[in-house]
Structure 1
Protein backbone atom coordinates (compact mmCIF):
# COMPACT_ATOMS: atom_id res chain seq x y z
CA UNK A 1 0.00 0.00 0.00
CA UNK A 2 1.23 3.49 -0.90
CA UNK A 3 0.10 6.20 1.51
CA UNK A 4 0.09 9.86 0.52
CA UNK A 5 0.51 12.62 3.10
CA UNK A 6 -0.26 15.97 1.54
CA UNK A 7 -3.00 14.57 -0.67
CA UNK A 8 -4.81 17.90 -1.00
CA UNK A 9 -1.73 19.69 -2.32
CA UNK A 10 -0.95 20.19 -6.00
CA UNK A 11 1.70 17.46 -6.14
CA UNK A 12 -0.11 15.01 -3.87
CA UNK A 13 -3.37 15.28 -5.80
CA UNK A 14 -1.51 14.85 -9.10
CA UNK A 15 0.18 11.74 -7.71
CA UNK A 16 -3.18 10.29 -6.69
CA UNK A 17 -4.47 10.76 -10.23
CA UNK A 18 -1.40 9.07 -11.67
CA UNK A 19 -1.60 6.07 -9.33
CA UNK A 20 -5.33 5.66 -9.97
CA UNK A 21 -4.68 5.73 -13.73
CA UNK A 22 -2.15 2.93 -13.25
CA UNK A 23 -4.54 0.99 -10.98
CA UNK A 24 -2.14 1.13 -8.03
CA UNK A 25 -3.80 0.81 -4.59
CA UNK A 26 -3.22 3.96 -2.57
CA UNK A 27 -4.36 5.64 0.62
CA UNK A 28 -4.73 9.39 1.07
CA UNK A 29 -4.36 11.04 4.47
CA UNK A 30 -6.13 14.29 5.33
CA UNK A 31 -7.22 16.27 8.38
CA UNK A 32 -10.54 16.72 6.57
CA UNK A 33 -11.25 13.38 4.86
CA UNK A 34 -14.76 14.40 3.85
CA UNK A 35 -13.48 17.42 1.95
CA UNK A 36 -10.80 15.31 0.27
CA UNK A 37 -13.34 12.72 -0.84
CA UNK A 38 -15.52 15.46 -2.30
CA UNK A 39 -12.50 16.89 -4.13
CA UNK A 40 -11.30 13.65 -5.73
CA UNK A 41 -14.73 12.17 -6.38
CA UNK A 42 -16.96 9.68 -4.62
CA UNK A 43 -16.13 6.91 -7.09
CA UNK A 44 -12.36 7.39 -7.24
CA UNK A 45 -10.80 4.14 -5.96
CA UNK A 46 -8.68 5.68 -3.22
CA UNK A 47 -8.84 4.83 0.48
CA UNK A 48 -9.14 8.04 2.50
CA UNK A 49 -8.32 8.24 6.18
CA UNK A 50 -8.36 11.12 8.62
CA UNK A 51 -5.24 12.07 10.58
CA UNK A 52 -3.58 15.14 12.03
CA UNK A 53 0.20 15.49 11.72
CA UNK A 54 0.19 17.16 15.14
CA UNK A 55 -1.32 13.98 16.65
CA UNK A 56 1.13 11.05 16.33
CA UNK A 57 -1.45 8.42 17.28
CA UNK A 58 -3.74 9.37 14.40
CA UNK A 59 -0.74 9.09 12.07
CA UNK A 60 0.15 5.62 13.34
CA UNK A 61 -3.45 4.53 12.80
CA UNK A 62 -3.41 5.96 9.27
CA UNK A 63 -0.12 4.31 8.30
CA UNK A 64 -0.95 0.81 9.49
CA UNK A 65 -0.23 -1.68 6.71
CA UNK A 66 1.60 0.84 4.51
CA UNK A 67 4.77 -0.21 2.72
CA UNK A 68 5.58 3.16 1.14
CA UNK A 69 4.86 6.79 1.94
CA UNK A 70 4.82 9.98 -0.12
CA UNK A 71 5.36 13.05 2.07
CA UNK A 72 4.55 16.53 0.75
CA UNK A 73 3.21 18.81 3.44
CA UNK A 74 2.49 22.45 2.74
CA UNK A 75 5.12 25.03 3.61
CA UNK A 76 4.43 26.52 7.03
CA UNK A 77 6.35 27.62 10.13
CA UNK A 78 5.63 24.16 11.61
CA UNK A 79 6.44 22.12 8.51
CA UNK A 80 9.66 20.54 9.82
CA UNK A 81 8.02 19.62 13.13
CA UNK A 82 4.98 18.06 11.47
CA UNK A 83 6.98 16.17 8.84
CA UNK A 84 9.20 14.79 11.60
CA UNK A 85 6.06 13.48 13.31
CA UNK A 86 5.06 11.80 10.04
CA UNK A 87 8.46 10.15 9.65
CA UNK A 88 8.44 8.87 13.23
CA UNK A 89 4.96 7.40 12.78
CA UNK A 90 5.96 5.79 9.48
CA UNK A 91 9.01 4.19 11.07
CA UNK A 92 6.87 2.95 13.97
CA UNK A 93 4.46 1.29 11.52
CA UNK A 94 7.14 -0.47 9.51
CA UNK A 95 6.99 1.67 6.37
CA UNK A 96 9.95 0.68 4.20
CA UNK A 97 10.29 3.58 1.76
CA UNK A 98 9.59 7.32 2.05
CA UNK A 99 9.52 9.68 -0.92
CA UNK A 100 9.86 13.21 0.46
CA UNK A 101 9.16 16.40 -1.45
CA UNK A 102 12.03 18.69 -0.48
CA UNK A 103 13.77 21.74 -1.97
CA UNK A 104 16.94 22.39 -4.02
CA UNK A 105 18.58 24.51 -1.31
CA UNK A 106 17.96 22.04 1.53
CA UNK A 107 21.14 22.85 3.45
CA UNK A 108 21.93 23.67 7.08
CA UNK A 109 23.10 27.18 6.18
CA UNK A 110 20.58 27.93 3.41
CA UNK A 111 19.45 31.57 3.28
CA UNK A 112 15.88 30.25 2.92
CA UNK A 113 14.28 29.30 6.25
CA UNK A 114 11.92 26.73 4.71
CA UNK A 115 14.88 25.04 3.01
CA UNK A 116 16.72 24.79 6.32
CA UNK A 117 13.62 23.03 7.65
CA UNK A 118 13.69 20.60 4.73
CA UNK A 119 17.32 19.84 5.55
CA UNK A 120 16.46 19.04 9.16
CA UNK A 121 13.71 16.67 8.02
CA UNK A 122 16.04 15.00 5.51
CA UNK A 123 18.63 14.52 8.24
CA UNK A 124 16.03 13.02 10.57
CA UNK A 125 14.80 10.68 7.84
CA UNK A 126 18.39 9.50 7.32
CA UNK A 127 18.54 8.31 10.94
CA UNK A 128 15.75 5.78 10.34
CA UNK A 129 16.02 2.40 8.64
CA UNK A 130 13.62 3.46 5.89
CA UNK A 131 14.83 3.98 2.33
CA UNK A 132 14.66 7.70 1.56
CA UNK A 133 14.03 9.18 -1.88
CA UNK A 134 14.32 12.96 -2.01
CA UNK A 135 12.64 15.07 -4.69
CA UNK A 136 14.05 18.59 -4.92
CA UNK A 137 11.99 20.56 -7.44
CA UNK A 138 12.47 24.19 -8.32
CA UNK A 139 9.59 26.69 -8.64
CA UNK A 140 6.16 25.24 -9.37
CA UNK A 141 4.56 26.56 -12.54
CA UNK A 142 1.22 26.37 -10.73
CA UNK A 143 2.40 29.09 -8.32
CA UNK A 144 2.27 31.53 -11.23
CA UNK A 145 -1.50 31.24 -11.12
CA UNK A 146 -1.39 33.21 -7.86
CA UNK A 147 -0.15 36.16 -9.93
CA UNK A 148 -3.05 35.94 -12.37
CA UNK A 149 -5.01 38.95 -11.00
CA UNK A 150 -2.03 41.27 -11.44
CA UNK A 151 -1.09 39.78 -14.80
CA UNK A 152 -4.59 40.38 -16.15
CA UNK A 153 -3.88 44.05 -15.34
CA UNK A 154 -0.63 43.85 -17.29
CA UNK A 155 1.82 43.70 -14.39
CA UNK A 156 4.21 41.07 -13.02
CA UNK A 157 5.93 42.11 -9.79
CA UNK A 158 9.08 40.61 -8.30
CA UNK A 159 12.45 41.27 -6.71
CA UNK A 160 14.92 39.19 -8.71
CA UNK A 161 15.95 41.54 -11.54
CA UNK A 162 16.95 39.37 -14.53
CA UNK A 163 17.95 36.24 -12.62
CA UNK A 164 16.82 33.03 -14.34
CA UNK A 165 14.27 30.93 -12.48
CA UNK A 166 13.53 27.26 -13.13
CA UNK A 167 9.85 26.38 -13.38
CA UNK A 168 8.51 22.83 -13.21
CA UNK A 169 5.02 21.44 -13.70
CA UNK A 170 3.79 19.63 -10.57
CA UNK A 171 2.50 16.86 -12.83
CA UNK A 172 6.10 16.09 -13.77
CA UNK A 173 7.02 15.97 -10.09
CA UNK A 174 4.13 13.57 -9.47
CA UNK A 175 5.20 11.42 -12.40
CA UNK A 176 8.73 11.14 -10.99
CA UNK A 177 7.30 10.35 -7.56
CA UNK A 178 5.19 7.57 -9.06
CA UNK A 179 8.19 6.06 -10.82
CA UNK A 180 10.28 6.04 -7.64
CA UNK A 181 7.41 4.41 -5.74
CA UNK A 182 6.78 1.75 -8.37
CA UNK A 183 10.33 0.91 -9.44
CA UNK A 184 12.68 -0.08 -6.58
CA UNK A 185 15.74 0.61 -8.73
CA UNK A 186 14.92 4.33 -8.63
CA UNK A 187 14.43 4.48 -4.86
CA UNK A 188 16.99 5.81 -2.43
CA UNK A 189 18.32 8.63 -4.61
CA UNK A 190 18.08 12.43 -4.59
CA UNK A 191 16.49 14.00 -7.67
CA UNK A 192 16.84 17.71 -8.42
CA UNK A 193 13.96 18.52 -10.76
CA UNK A 194 13.65 21.37 -13.25
CA UNK A 195 11.74 22.29 -16.35
CA UNK A 196 13.46 22.30 -19.75
CA UNK A 197 14.68 25.92 -19.44
CA UNK A 198 14.90 28.77 -16.96
CA UNK A 199 13.14 32.13 -17.45
CA UNK A 200 13.90 35.53 -16.00
CA UNK A 201 10.94 37.61 -14.89
CA UNK A 202 11.35 40.00 -17.85
CA UNK A 203 11.31 36.99 -20.19
CA UNK A 204 8.25 35.62 -18.41
CA UNK A 205 6.46 38.95 -18.79
CA UNK A 206 7.23 39.00 -22.52
CA UNK A 207 5.97 35.42 -22.93
CA UNK A 208 2.76 36.25 -21.09
CA UNK A 209 2.31 39.30 -23.30
CA UNK A 210 2.73 37.21 -26.45
CA UNK A 211 0.23 34.61 -25.28
CA UNK A 212 -2.40 37.05 -23.99
CA UNK A 213 -1.80 39.50 -26.86
CA UNK A 214 -1.69 42.27 -24.29
CA UNK A 215 1.40 44.04 -22.91
CA UNK A 216 2.66 42.66 -19.60
CA UNK A 217 5.48 44.58 -17.92
CA UNK A 218 7.78 43.37 -15.19
CA UNK A 219 8.12 45.66 -12.17
CA UNK A 220 11.23 44.93 -10.12
CA UNK A 221 11.12 46.14 -6.51
CA UNK A 222 13.73 46.27 -3.75
CA UNK A 223 13.28 43.29 -1.38
CA UNK A 224 11.71 45.34 1.42
CA UNK A 225 9.21 46.96 -0.95
CA UNK A 226 8.39 43.60 -2.52
CA UNK A 227 7.77 42.20 0.97
CA UNK A 228 5.36 45.05 1.70
CA UNK A 229 3.66 44.49 -1.66
CA UNK A 230 3.09 40.81 -0.84
CA UNK A 231 1.57 41.74 2.52
CA UNK A 232 -0.70 44.51 1.28
CA UNK A 233 -1.64 43.40 -2.23
CA UNK A 234 -1.31 39.62 -2.21
CA UNK A 235 -2.47 39.47 1.44
CA UNK A 236 0.16 36.87 2.34
CA UNK A 237 0.90 36.06 5.98
CA UNK A 238 4.24 37.58 7.05
CA UNK A 239 6.12 34.26 7.11
CA UNK A 240 5.05 33.44 3.54
CA UNK A 241 5.91 36.90 2.22
CA UNK A 242 9.33 36.54 3.83
CA UNK A 243 9.73 33.11 2.19
CA UNK A 244 8.89 34.43 -1.28
CA UNK A 245 11.44 37.24 -0.91
CA UNK A 246 14.08 34.76 0.28
CA UNK A 247 13.45 32.47 -2.69
CA UNK A 248 13.78 35.30 -5.20
CA UNK A 249 16.94 36.62 -3.56
CA UNK A 250 18.40 33.10 -3.64
CA UNK A 251 17.75 32.90 -7.39
CA UNK A 252 19.82 36.05 -7.81
CA UNK A 253 22.66 34.67 -5.68
CA UNK A 254 22.62 31.23 -7.31
CA UNK A 255 21.65 31.36 -10.98
CA UNK A 256 19.43 28.39 -11.80
CA UNK A 257 20.25 26.08 -14.69
CA UNK A 258 17.95 23.34 -16.00
CA UNK A 259 18.88 19.66 -16.02
CA UNK A 260 17.61 16.54 -17.80
CA UNK A 261 16.48 14.56 -14.74
CA UNK A 262 12.82 14.53 -15.81
CA UNK A 263 13.70 13.11 -19.23
CA UNK A 264 16.13 10.59 -17.73
CA UNK A 265 13.59 9.23 -15.24
CA UNK A 266 10.44 9.45 -17.36
CA UNK A 267 11.84 8.85 -20.83
CA UNK A 268 10.17 11.99 -22.17
CA UNK A 269 10.87 15.72 -22.04
CA UNK A 270 9.66 17.82 -19.15
CA UNK A 271 6.51 19.88 -19.72
CA UNK A 272 7.28 23.39 -20.91
CA UNK A 273 6.29 26.67 -19.32
CA UNK A 274 4.88 27.80 -22.66
CA UNK A 275 2.52 24.80 -22.75
CA UNK A 276 1.48 25.35 -19.13
CA UNK A 277 0.65 29.01 -19.70
CA UNK A 278 -1.33 28.19 -22.84
CA UNK A 279 -3.27 25.55 -20.90
CA UNK A 280 -4.18 28.11 -18.23
CA UNK A 281 -4.43 31.13 -20.51
CA UNK A 282 -8.01 31.83 -19.46
CA UNK A 283 -6.75 32.71 -15.97
CA UNK A 284 -4.45 35.42 -17.32
CA UNK A 285 -7.00 36.98 -19.66
CA UNK A 286 -9.64 39.56 -18.79
CA UNK A 287 -13.22 38.56 -19.39
CA UNK A 288 -15.77 41.06 -20.61
Structure 2
Protein backbone atom coordinates (compact mmCIF):
# COMPACT_ATOMS: atom_id res chain seq x y z
CA UNK A 1 0.00 0.00 0.00
CA UNK A 2 1.25 3.47 -0.93
CA UNK A 3 0.10 6.35 1.26
CA UNK A 4 -0.13 9.77 -0.41
CA UNK A 5 0.06 12.67 2.00
CA UNK A 6 -1.30 15.92 0.60
CA UNK A 7 -3.64 14.08 -1.78
CA UNK A 8 -5.74 17.19 -2.46
CA UNK A 9 -2.76 19.42 -3.24
CA UNK A 10 -1.29 20.07 -6.67
CA UNK A 11 1.54 17.54 -6.51
CA UNK A 12 -0.13 15.04 -4.18
CA UNK A 13 -3.20 14.82 -6.37
CA UNK A 14 -1.03 14.36 -9.45
CA UNK A 15 0.86 11.54 -7.72
CA UNK A 16 -2.41 9.94 -6.68
CA UNK A 17 -3.68 9.84 -10.27
CA UNK A 18 -0.35 8.59 -11.61
CA UNK A 19 -0.39 5.70 -9.13
CA UNK A 20 -4.02 4.86 -9.90
CA UNK A 21 -3.17 4.78 -13.61
CA UNK A 22 -0.42 2.25 -12.83
CA UNK A 23 -2.88 0.10 -10.89
CA UNK A 24 -0.98 0.53 -7.63
CA UNK A 25 -2.81 0.21 -4.29
CA UNK A 26 -3.20 3.78 -3.05
CA UNK A 27 -4.38 5.43 0.14
CA UNK A 28 -5.20 9.14 -0.07
CA UNK A 29 -4.47 11.00 3.16
CA UNK A 30 -6.35 14.24 3.78
CA UNK A 31 -7.58 16.45 6.60
CA UNK A 32 -11.02 16.47 4.97
CA UNK A 33 -11.75 12.78 4.21
CA UNK A 34 -15.47 13.38 3.65
CA UNK A 35 -14.81 15.84 0.82
CA UNK A 36 -14.32 14.50 -2.72
CA UNK A 37 -10.72 13.95 -3.79
CA UNK A 38 -10.20 16.08 -6.94
CA UNK A 39 -10.46 14.04 -10.10
CA UNK A 40 -11.85 10.87 -8.48
CA UNK A 41 -15.57 11.60 -8.64
CA UNK A 42 -17.76 10.62 -11.55
CA UNK A 43 -15.14 8.22 -12.95
CA UNK A 44 -15.41 4.49 -13.54
CA UNK A 45 -11.73 3.81 -12.97
CA UNK A 46 -9.99 2.72 -9.76
CA UNK A 47 -10.45 4.89 -6.69
CA UNK A 48 -8.15 5.30 -3.73
CA UNK A 49 -8.80 4.35 -0.15
CA UNK A 50 -9.25 7.59 1.80
CA UNK A 51 -8.17 8.21 5.39
CA UNK A 52 -7.99 11.20 7.69
CA UNK A 53 -4.50 12.50 8.44
CA UNK A 54 -3.31 15.75 9.96
CA UNK A 55 0.41 16.36 10.38
CA UNK A 56 -0.33 18.17 13.65
CA UNK A 57 -2.14 15.07 15.01
CA UNK A 58 0.33 12.26 15.69
CA UNK A 59 -2.43 9.76 16.39
CA UNK A 60 -4.05 10.37 13.00
CA UNK A 61 -0.70 9.77 11.28
CA UNK A 62 -0.17 6.46 13.05
CA UNK A 63 -3.61 5.30 11.92
CA UNK A 64 -3.14 6.63 8.39
CA UNK A 65 0.22 4.89 7.93
CA UNK A 66 -0.95 1.55 9.28
CA UNK A 67 -0.37 -1.22 6.74
CA UNK A 68 1.40 1.05 4.22
CA UNK A 69 4.92 0.35 3.05
CA UNK A 70 5.63 3.51 1.04
CA UNK A 71 4.81 7.17 1.55
CA UNK A 72 4.61 10.22 -0.67
CA UNK A 73 5.20 13.29 1.50
CA UNK A 74 4.16 16.77 0.39
CA UNK A 75 3.00 19.58 2.62
CA UNK A 76 2.11 23.18 1.99
CA UNK A 77 4.98 25.54 2.69
CA UNK A 78 4.65 27.29 6.03
CA UNK A 79 6.47 28.38 9.19
CA UNK A 80 5.86 25.00 10.89
CA UNK A 81 6.82 22.88 7.87
CA UNK A 82 10.10 21.51 9.23
CA UNK A 83 8.49 20.44 12.50
CA UNK A 84 5.46 18.86 10.82
CA UNK A 85 7.34 17.02 8.09
CA UNK A 86 9.94 15.74 10.52
CA UNK A 87 7.20 14.43 12.81
CA UNK A 88 5.51 12.69 9.88
CA UNK A 89 8.80 11.08 8.88
CA UNK A 90 9.46 9.86 12.42
CA UNK A 91 6.00 8.33 12.74
CA UNK A 92 6.22 6.81 9.27
CA UNK A 93 9.50 5.09 10.13
CA UNK A 94 8.06 3.73 13.39
CA UNK A 95 4.93 2.58 11.54
CA UNK A 96 6.83 0.36 9.13
CA UNK A 97 7.06 2.67 6.11
CA UNK A 98 10.01 1.36 4.11
CA UNK A 99 10.45 4.17 1.58
CA UNK A 100 9.53 7.86 1.50
CA UNK A 101 9.35 10.12 -1.55
CA UNK A 102 9.59 13.73 -0.39
CA UNK A 103 8.82 16.87 -2.36
CA UNK A 104 11.58 19.37 -1.65
CA UNK A 105 12.62 22.58 -3.41
CA UNK A 106 15.39 24.03 -5.57
CA UNK A 107 18.44 25.32 -3.72
CA UNK A 108 17.69 23.16 -0.66
CA UNK A 109 20.92 24.14 1.07
CA UNK A 110 21.82 25.24 4.60
CA UNK A 111 22.76 28.72 3.36
CA UNK A 112 20.08 29.04 0.66
CA UNK A 113 18.81 32.58 -0.01
CA UNK A 114 15.27 31.13 0.15
CA UNK A 115 14.07 30.48 3.71
CA UNK A 116 11.67 27.69 2.67
CA UNK A 117 14.52 25.94 0.84
CA UNK A 118 16.61 26.06 4.02
CA UNK A 119 13.71 24.33 5.75
CA UNK A 120 13.55 21.64 3.08
CA UNK A 121 17.29 21.07 3.54
CA UNK A 122 16.72 20.51 7.26
CA UNK A 123 14.03 17.91 6.52
CA UNK A 124 16.25 16.20 3.94
CA UNK A 125 19.01 16.02 6.56
CA UNK A 126 16.54 14.51 9.03
CA UNK A 127 15.68 11.81 6.48
CA UNK A 128 19.35 10.99 6.02
CA UNK A 129 20.03 10.92 9.74
CA UNK A 130 17.07 8.65 10.37
CA UNK A 131 18.37 6.22 7.77
CA UNK A 132 15.02 5.46 6.12
CA UNK A 133 15.15 4.75 2.38
CA UNK A 134 14.02 7.85 0.51
CA UNK A 135 13.81 9.80 -2.76
CA UNK A 136 13.98 13.59 -2.83
CA UNK A 137 12.32 15.48 -5.68
CA UNK A 138 13.25 19.12 -6.20
CA UNK A 139 10.83 20.60 -8.73
CA UNK A 140 11.04 24.15 -10.00
CA UNK A 141 8.04 26.44 -10.62
CA UNK A 142 4.74 24.60 -11.14
CA UNK A 143 3.01 25.48 -14.40
CA UNK A 144 -0.26 25.10 -12.47
CA UNK A 145 0.69 28.09 -10.32
CA UNK A 146 0.16 30.30 -13.37
CA UNK A 147 -3.56 29.65 -12.92
CA UNK A 148 -3.38 31.76 -9.75
CA UNK A 149 -2.42 34.69 -11.97
CA UNK A 150 -5.30 34.00 -14.37
CA UNK A 151 -7.48 36.96 -13.22
CA UNK A 152 -4.66 39.41 -13.87
CA UNK A 153 -3.71 37.74 -17.15
CA UNK A 154 -7.34 37.98 -18.29
CA UNK A 155 -7.09 41.73 -17.66
CA UNK A 156 -3.82 41.84 -19.61
CA UNK A 157 -1.13 41.96 -16.91
CA UNK A 158 1.23 39.66 -15.05
CA UNK A 159 3.44 40.94 -12.22
CA UNK A 160 7.04 39.94 -11.60
CA UNK A 161 10.30 40.93 -9.94
CA UNK A 162 12.72 38.75 -11.87
CA UNK A 163 13.56 41.09 -14.75
CA UNK A 164 14.40 39.07 -17.85
CA UNK A 165 15.72 36.05 -15.94
CA UNK A 166 14.52 32.70 -17.30
CA UNK A 167 12.27 30.55 -15.11
CA UNK A 168 12.11 26.75 -15.13
CA UNK A 169 8.48 25.62 -15.31
CA UNK A 170 7.40 22.02 -14.74
CA UNK A 171 3.94 20.46 -15.05
CA UNK A 172 2.71 18.93 -11.78
CA UNK A 173 1.57 15.90 -13.76
CA UNK A 174 5.20 15.20 -14.69
CA UNK A 175 6.15 15.53 -11.03
CA UNK A 176 3.38 13.05 -10.25
CA UNK A 177 4.63 10.58 -12.85
CA UNK A 178 8.22 10.80 -11.57
CA UNK A 179 7.07 10.36 -7.97
CA UNK A 180 4.94 7.36 -8.96
CA UNK A 181 7.96 5.83 -10.68
CA UNK A 182 10.07 6.37 -7.55
CA UNK A 183 7.36 4.69 -5.46
CA UNK A 184 6.95 1.67 -7.72
CA UNK A 185 10.28 1.12 -9.51
CA UNK A 186 13.17 0.03 -7.25
CA UNK A 187 15.77 1.12 -9.79
CA UNK A 188 15.19 4.83 -9.12
CA UNK A 189 13.99 4.58 -5.54
CA UNK A 190 16.93 6.40 -3.97
CA UNK A 191 18.55 9.69 -4.85
CA UNK A 192 17.78 13.38 -5.31
CA UNK A 193 16.33 14.65 -8.56
CA UNK A 194 15.89 18.20 -9.88
CA UNK A 195 12.74 18.41 -12.01
CA UNK A 196 12.06 20.97 -14.74
CA UNK A 197 10.21 21.23 -18.00
CA UNK A 198 12.05 21.24 -21.33
CA UNK A 199 12.87 24.96 -21.34
CA UNK A 200 13.35 27.98 -19.09
CA UNK A 201 11.16 30.93 -20.10
CA UNK A 202 11.50 34.60 -19.13
CA UNK A 203 8.52 36.73 -18.20
CA UNK A 204 8.79 38.78 -21.42
CA UNK A 205 8.61 35.53 -23.39
CA UNK A 206 5.81 34.21 -21.17
CA UNK A 207 3.59 37.23 -21.84
CA UNK A 208 4.30 36.94 -25.58
CA UNK A 209 3.02 33.36 -25.50
CA UNK A 210 0.07 34.28 -23.31
CA UNK A 211 -0.86 37.03 -25.77
CA UNK A 212 -0.87 34.50 -28.60
CA UNK A 213 -2.94 31.91 -26.75
CA UNK A 214 -5.48 34.37 -25.33
CA UNK A 215 -5.85 36.58 -28.37
CA UNK A 216 -5.36 39.74 -26.30
CA UNK A 217 -2.24 41.64 -25.31
CA UNK A 218 -0.72 40.62 -21.99
CA UNK A 219 2.04 42.82 -20.60
CA UNK A 220 4.68 42.16 -17.98
CA UNK A 221 4.62 44.64 -15.09
CA UNK A 222 8.15 44.80 -13.68
CA UNK A 223 8.37 45.50 -9.97
CA UNK A 224 11.30 45.80 -7.59
CA UNK A 225 11.49 43.03 -4.99
CA UNK A 226 10.19 45.48 -2.37
CA UNK A 227 7.22 46.51 -4.54
CA UNK A 228 6.49 42.88 -5.39
CA UNK A 229 6.47 41.87 -1.71
CA UNK A 230 4.31 44.83 -0.72
CA UNK A 231 1.81 44.07 -3.48
CA UNK A 232 1.21 40.57 -2.13
CA UNK A 233 0.93 41.73 1.47
CA UNK A 234 -1.29 44.78 0.96
CA UNK A 235 -3.16 44.05 -2.27
CA UNK A 236 -3.38 40.24 -2.32
CA UNK A 237 -3.51 39.98 1.51
CA UNK A 238 -0.88 37.24 1.65
CA UNK A 239 0.75 36.39 4.96
CA UNK A 240 4.06 38.23 5.21
CA UNK A 241 6.10 35.01 5.26
CA UNK A 242 4.45 33.80 2.02
CA UNK A 243 4.95 37.13 0.25
CA UNK A 244 8.59 36.97 1.30
CA UNK A 245 8.86 33.41 -0.03
CA UNK A 246 7.40 34.29 -3.44
CA UNK A 247 9.78 37.24 -3.68
CA UNK A 248 12.79 35.14 -2.68
CA UNK A 249 11.94 32.53 -5.31
CA UNK A 250 11.88 35.18 -8.04
CA UNK A 251 15.15 36.64 -6.84
CA UNK A 252 16.73 33.17 -6.83
CA UNK A 253 16.09 32.99 -10.58
CA UNK A 254 17.94 36.29 -10.99
CA UNK A 255 20.89 35.26 -8.81
CA UNK A 256 21.18 31.74 -10.21
CA UNK A 257 20.24 31.42 -13.88
CA UNK A 258 17.90 28.47 -14.26
CA UNK A 259 18.90 25.71 -16.66
CA UNK A 260 16.51 22.88 -17.60
CA UNK A 261 17.43 19.31 -16.69
CA UNK A 262 16.72 16.11 -18.59
CA UNK A 263 15.63 14.25 -15.44
CA UNK A 264 11.97 13.84 -16.39
CA UNK A 265 12.87 12.42 -19.81
CA UNK A 266 15.49 10.05 -18.36
CA UNK A 267 13.16 8.63 -15.72
CA UNK A 268 9.93 8.50 -17.72
CA UNK A 269 11.36 7.72 -21.16
CA UNK A 270 9.38 10.56 -22.73
CA UNK A 271 9.78 14.33 -22.97
CA UNK A 272 8.29 16.49 -20.21
CA UNK A 273 5.11 18.42 -20.95
CA UNK A 274 5.73 21.81 -22.51
CA UNK A 275 4.67 25.24 -21.32
CA UNK A 276 3.01 25.90 -24.67
CA UNK A 277 0.86 22.78 -24.30
CA UNK A 278 -0.13 23.81 -20.76
CA UNK A 279 -1.08 27.35 -21.83
CA UNK A 280 -3.14 26.03 -24.73
CA UNK A 281 -4.87 23.46 -22.53
CA UNK A 282 -5.82 26.15 -19.99
CA UNK A 283 -6.40 29.05 -22.37
CA UNK A 284 -10.03 29.43 -21.21
CA UNK A 285 -8.81 30.31 -17.69
CA UNK A 286 -6.58 33.08 -19.02
CA UNK A 287 -9.35 34.50 -21.19
CA UNK A 288 -11.98 34.69 -18.43
CA UNK A 289 -12.33 38.08 -16.79
CA UNK A 290 -12.25 37.72 -13.00
CA UNK A 291 -12.19 40.10 -10.06
CA UNK A 292 -8.99 40.58 -8.13
CA UNK A 293 -6.18 43.03 -7.39
CA UNK A 294 -4.66 44.45 -10.55
CA UNK A 295 -1.52 46.51 -11.04
CA UNK A 296 -1.13 49.73 -9.13
CA UNK A 297 -0.96 53.17 -10.72
CA UNK A 298 2.62 53.85 -11.72
CA UNK A 299 3.59 50.19 -12.11
CA UNK A 300 6.23 49.74 -14.80
CA UNK A 301 5.65 47.58 -17.86
Q: TM-score, normalised by structure 2?
A: 0.92
Q: Which runs of 5+ in 1 are unaligned?
A: none
Among 97, 100, 117, the residue aligned to 1:98: 100
Q: Superposition RMSD on alpha carbons, in Å?
A: 1.5
- List aligned pairs for 1:273-288, cutoff 5 A: 273-286=275-288
Among 193, 197, 210, the residue aligned to 1:208: 210
Instruction: Give the corresponding residue for 2:169.
Output: 167
Distance in 1 between the 2:35 and 2:76 partners? 17
Instruction: Give the corresponding residue for 2:67.
Output: 65
Deviation, 1:107, is: 0.6
Distance in 2 between the 1:71 and 1:36 partners? 20
Instruction: Give the corresponding residue for 1:7.
Output: 7
- Answer yes or no: is 1:217 the counterpart of 2:219: yes
Q: Deviations over 1:28-84 (max 9, x none)?
A: 111111114576338752111112111212211110111100001111111111111
- List aligned pairs for 1:111-130, cutoff 5 A: 111-130=113-132
Distance in 2 between the 1:174 and 1:213 partners? 31
Report the secondary structure of 1:33's partner residue: coil
Deviation, 1:287, is: 5.8
Distance in 2 between the 1:166 and 1:39 partners? 26
Deviation, 1:85, is: 1.0
Distance in 2 between the 1:202 and 1:34 partners? 43
Q: 1:238 to 1:163 in 2, by over 3 A?
A: same
Among 235, 240, 243, the residue aligned to 2:242: 240
Instruction: Give the corresponding residue for 1:30.
Output: 30
Among 178, 183, 190, the residue aligned to 1:188: 190
Compare 53-62 and 85-94 and name the one that shifted more: 53-62
Report the secondary structure of 2:258's partner residue: coil
Instruction: Give the corresponding residue for 1:176.
Output: 178
Asked whether the 8 Å contact 2:40–2:47 carries over to 1, the reply is no
Asked whether the 8 Å contact 1:227–1:241 carries over to 2, the reply is yes
Distance in 1 between the 2:6 and 2:164 partners? 33
Asked whether the 8 Å contact 1:30–1:36 carries over to 2, the reply is no
Asked whether the 8 Å contact 2:155–2:289 carries over to 1, the reply is no
Distance in 2 between the 1:71 and 1:236 partners? 25
Asked whether the 8 Å contact 1:6–1:30 carries over to 2, the reply is yes
Instruction: Give the corresponding residue for 1:82.
Output: 84
Distance in 1 between the 2:261 and 2:55 partners? 34
Q: Deviations over 1:196-244 (max 9, x none)?
A: 0001111111111111121111111111111111123333221111100
Distance in 2 between the 1:75 and 1:100 partners? 13
Q: Which runs of 5+ in 2 are unaligned?
A: 291-301
